[in-house]
Chain A
Amino acid sequence: MNNSKSDRAGYLFILPWLLGLIIFTLGPMIFSLILSFSKWDVITGVESIQYVGLDNFKAIFHDPLFYQSLKVTFIFALVSVPLFQVASILIAVLLNMRSRGMKFFRLIYFMPSVIPAVATSMMWVMIFNPEYGILNEALGWFGIQGPAWLQDPNYALGALIVMGLWGVGNTIIIYLSGLQGVPEDLYEAGELDGAGIFRRFFSITLPLITPTIFFNLIMGIIGGFQYFTQAFVMTNGGPLNSTLFYNLYLYNKAFIEFDMGYASALSWILFIIILLFTLLVIRSSSFWVYYQGDDRD
């Protein structure tokens, strides 16, 4: 099957993707780069694209809303990514116990992550309602006067983080599969050596699932920077821009104000930020990610 004539047929099979790559990825990327250095009133034709050099970028670095959206996104990512990982690992460890009914628990925990984001958002708008929402009702049982959540600039972002915690199911599933790759005999050996539960967790479980943590960290960072639907539906950036996520600001610039050049420049800055963070995690990984295969070499 290795003659070159039939191998050329391989191109035919990957042709759809290849065309997609050119039409929907590479082409748009080049166009987006051109736009980011241009001013364009979209209503008129392509001819009216005007090269303005670094003007968009200069304007962005003087734009208070750019910094605000960056701040919101950073706070969200820095709080929620580690928080979600810790919570997911703990639940995954519990769900990895060998006992009856675990399958049932796994289903329950995973369920929220298949619910459409719009539906989840609607549900939580109601839950966060200060007067008749169930959250403040529950806090009331402990004598806590709950805040106005989505209407309060000090709490709105926190509310979205709390809501996110509710839907960490798919991260849990990924950890669960990571945990199932940890050889049982290591735990037995640990137990024989007199290691307690916590010792076994920190010396066996945690190091062996570092590749999964690594994967989830990268996905978490990318996801955090692309957060959109929930913020759009629940707060639309408010109150007082306290939930103006970067992606939401980008959307407003592009599809509300139709400032495509500016928005394209914003999207490239986002790309660079995500790339830097991803590279940072990848570069740091040699210090903390442990691959089981490594020590056999």
Chain B
Amino acid sequence: MQTSLRKFNLSQWLALLILIAGSAIVLVPLLWTVSTSLKTPAEVFGNSFFPQKWIWSNYSDAVRAIPFFLFLRNTLIILVPVMIGTVFTGALCAYGFARFNFRGKQTLFLILLATMMLPSQVTLIPTFLLFKQVGLTNSFLPLILPAFFGGLGGGAFNIFLIRQFMRGIPRELDESAFVDGANRWQIFIRIMAPLSKAPLIAVSIFTFMGVWNDFQGPLIYLNSNEKYTLALGLSMFKGMYNVEWNMLMAATILIMLPALILFFIAQKYFIEGISISSAIKG
């Protein structure tokens, strides 16, 4: 309900109050996690919200308790190619759907939309078995390769998102380049891709988040500890003999941090990207 600023009445004060209370509910667990990560083990069991003394060494201890940098490296080995593959093939396919009229395009596009609805469980087992058959389990490849084929599941959404945007680019732009003798590939690389910067950034961010958050994929494909990603490593931390909550929370914060920093830097693309997804109406 949009009401103008000049009548900041009782109901609006009430609304503001509710928003503040809600924000507290969102923030308190986070702040408490941060505060726990700075406590001594004894203090964790006490009931003061803030630590008496800030034990920053919990962070360095946590990093040493699990092979943090190894897990970080593994995560990045997956992340970088996946981002390149997803953005590149996503843009490529989106261009194909946005600017060409080949036979069966409508049907193929409908199939693309339908794959967004397909639960990943149906393809999970056979895809795992496929990679097992060719001897690629316990390697990063099953987590990387699909990104170069438009991406599993989420790939369709990316193509859809970029295509919607590309359709909004005036045809005259690429047609005049065509008249000037540019071929399709040059048009894609020099005109369409640079102009689609906004959805490409949005897709990159979603891809980063997807890989950073991915749990089930690494869980299924990676068996040996030295191949674990951060998300997987953190969950194993919990299962370790006698959990030290302060250290566990320090590790939790460390895994959250890159996602949160990226979010604050790129929130515009984030929020717009998500809003666009609501444009897919029935």
Interface residues of A (CB under 8 A from B): 1-2, 6-14, 16-21, 23-25, 27-29, 31-32, 35, 42, 46, 91, 93-99, 105-112, 114-119, 121-127, 131-132, 134, 137, 166, 170, 173-174, 176-178, 184, 187, 197, 200-201, 205, 211-212, 214-216, 222, 225-226, 228-229, 232-233, 247, 250-251, 254-255, 260, 263-264, 267-268, 270-271, 274-275, 278, 282, 285, 289, 291
B216 with A229: CB separation less than 8 A: yes
A13 with B23: CB separation less than 8 A: no
A9 with B23: CB separation less than 8 A: no
A229 with B23: CB separation less than 8 A: no
Residues from 146 to 172 in B contacting A, C-beta threshold 8 Å = 146, 148-152, 155-156, 159, 171
B173 at the interface (CB under 8 A from A): no
Minimal Cβ-Cβ distance residue in B for A124: B29
**Beyond the given A119-B252, A232-B235, A271-B119, could you list 8 further A-B residue pairs with CB under 8 A, ordered by the A residue number?**
A16-B148, A29-B118, A32-B123, A97-B3, A114-B260, A126-B245, A222-B117, A270-B121
B102 at the interface (CB under 8 A from A): yes
CA distance A98 to B101 in the complex (A): 45
Minimal Cβ-Cβ distance residue in B for A109: B26
Chain B contact surface mostly: helix
Complex partner residue of A28 from B93, B96, B127, B281, CB under 8 angstroms: B127
CA distance A114 to B260 in the complex (A): 7
CA distance A173 to B267 in the complex (A): 12
B249 with A99: CB separation less than 8 A: no
Contacts of A197 in B (CB 8 A): 1, 11
Chain A contact surface mostly: helix
A16 with B93: CB separation less than 8 A: yes
The answer to whether residues A11 and B256 also contact, given A25-B123, A28-B130, A285-B282 and a CB cut-off of 8 A, is: no
CA distance A20 to B100 in the complex (A): 20
CA distance A215 to B276 in the complex (A): 12
Contacts of A187 in B (CB 8 A): 1-3
Identify 29 residue pairs between A and B in the complex whose beta-carbon atoms are under 8 Å apart, listed by A's number.
A7-B102, A10-B100, A13-B95, A17-B156, A20-B149, A96-B1, A96-B2, A99-B12, A105-B19, A108-B27, A109-B22, A110-B267, A110-B270, A111-B260, A115-B260, A118-B235, A119-B253, A122-B251, A124-B29, A126-B245, A132-B46, A134-B28, A137-B47, A176-B275, A177-B278, A226-B119, A264-B126, A271-B122, A282-B282
CA distance A122 to B37 in the complex (A): 12
B132 with A247: CB separation less than 8 A: no
Q: How far is the CB of B24 from chain A (nearest CB, A)?
A: 10
The 8 A-B residue pairs with the shortest CB-CB distance, nearest first, are A10-B100, A20-B149, A13-B96, A17-B150, A177-B275, A28-B126, A14-B96, A31-B126
B93 with A1: CB separation less than 8 A: no
Report B176-204 CB contacts with A as 1/0, cut-off 8 Å. Answer: 00100000100010000000000000000
B271 with A173: CB separation less than 8 A: yes
B100 with A122: CB separation less than 8 A: no
Interface residue count on the B side (C-beta < 8 Å): 108
With a 10 A CB-CB cut-off, give which of A46, A115, A291 has the most chain B CB atoms.
A115
Report B90-128 CB contacts with A as 1/0, cut-off 8 Å. Answer: 001101110111100100100110010111111111111
A19 with B209: CB separation less than 8 A: no
CA distance A6 to B96 in the complex (A): 11
Q: How far is the CB of B273 from chain A (nearest CB, A)?
A: 10
Contacts of B260 in A (CB 8 A): 111, 114-115
Contacts of B175 in A (CB 8 A): 1
B241 at the interface (CB under 8 A from A): no
Contacts of B188 in A (CB 8 A): 13
CA distance A21 to B184 in the complex (A): 24
Q: How far is the CB of B138 from chain A (nearest CB, A)?
A: 13
Contacts of B108 in A (CB 8 A): 14, 18
Complex partner residue of B23 from A97, A105, A173, CB under 8 angstroms: A105
The answer to whether residues A14 and B93 also contact, given A107-B267, A108-B23 and a CB cut-off of 8 A, is: yes
Contacts of B248 in A (CB 8 A): 122, 126
The answer to whether residues A28 and B19 also contact, given A114-B260, A116-B259 and a CB cut-off of 8 A, is: no
B140 at the interface (CB under 8 A from A): no
CA distance A127 to B35 in the complex (A): 12
CA distance A19 to B227 in the complex (A): 28
CA distance A2 to B123 in the complex (A): 37
A131 with B122: CB separation less than 8 A: no
